[in-house]
Amino acid sequence: MTLDEAAPVAPAPRRRAAGDPVKTLLHRHRALCERAVDPLEIAAGLEAQGITDRTAARFRHRDVFSLAEELYARTPRGDEPAAPRADGPSDARALRGFGYALLPGALALGAAASGMPYAGPVAVAVTVAALVWPVRPGQAAARFPYATGRFPYTALLLAAAAVGWAVHRHGTPLGVGLALAAAPGHLVGAVFAARARSRLAGSRALEDFADRARPLLITAALAFTAAAAGSAAIAGTPLTVAVPLAVLLFLARLLLTHGAPRGSVAVALALALVPAPQAVPAAAAVLLVHAVLVLSRASAHARP
């Protein structure tokens, strides 16, 4: 048998072309890329879906931010560019929001000063309402597209139980102090969100943003702790009881506002129900650690 008559040799298997590794990623996350109004929103969405700076290196990029910039640039958007969204609420909306945050303290203080027989339950109700005010059922999915879970009914019930039990044990002044702390909590939370968004815009890597966000959160927690102590002093309730519970509620509100999973918040609030003196401070400490981990992620500050 001649060489020409030999059986044909099977062709070598083709190697998968690696010329455009970003194209597959663009197809996989097309909805995210088309919805985004800037690369930062894409970076936050990619991080929420588990893509890290190390993953970005496989797509020939130094970090997720650089990868997001290419995805944003390569996403077809039609003839008209997407209209940019405002970075924050208007002055009128911000003023209205702060006015709403003043209501719990005003209602609780007024009920207690007038000698209402149900001043304690009123203080509990308005305090819990202030806790969940930022996360309305109809707005949760629209405002927090990367959040897990829906409106936190379980967290709401646990918060009501924790605050109600504490007010039952320590009296109406505790409820008034917690309600008064809602306004500074709203203000501190708004400042934290604005500064975190600003630092996200100036970051070039996920680790870089995390390093900037952690001290910002600690500063916000300390600022609110001081404000909560002032509110407790005005209400005439012991600081050792009011401040840890106020901090716990503030951190729960902050996490819910930024779309954190509701389970962790619910666990911390359930821990506060344990009949032990150190239960509430321990719950606040646990939630603070969790907040440092969650709120140092870029996805927690995606544009609503």
Asked whether residue 82 is assigned to any structural domain, the reply reads no
Q: How far apart are CA 241 and CA 152, in angstroms?
A: 25
pLDDT tens per residue, range 260-290 = 888 889 999 999 999 998 999 999 999 999 9
Is the Cβ–Cβ distance between 59 and 21 less than 8 Å? yes
Q: Residue for token digits 């901090």?
A: 247
Clarify whether residues 215 and 137 are in a common domain.
Answer: yes
Asked whether residue 11 is assigned to any structural domain, the reply reads no
Q: How far apart are CA 151 and CA 274, in angstroms?
A: 25
Q: How far apart are CA 43 and CA 22, in angstroms?
A: 14
pTM, two decimals, is 0.76
Token couple for 14: 């083709």
Token couple for 109: 């203080």
Count up the domains in the chain and report the number: 2
90-96: long-range contacts, CB 8 A cutoff, minimum separation 24? 94/190
Asked whether residue 14 is assigned to any structural domain, the reply reads no
pLDDT tens per residue, range 111-129 = 999 988 899 999 999 999 8
Query: Which of 88-92, 282-286, 293-297 is least confident?
Result: 88-92
Q: How far apart are CA 214 and CA 296, in angstroms?
A: 6
Clarify whether residues 168 and 207 are in a common domain.
Answer: yes
List the domain range (segments joined by +) for residue 30.
21-74
Clarify whether residues 243 and 177 are in a common domain.
Answer: yes
Asked whether residue 119 is assigned to any structural domain, the reply reads yes
How long a stretch of residues is the chain? 304
Q: How far apart are CA 291 and CA 172, in angstroms?
A: 29
Clarify whether residues 145 and 205 are in a common domain.
Answer: yes
Mean pLDDT along residues 88-108: 76
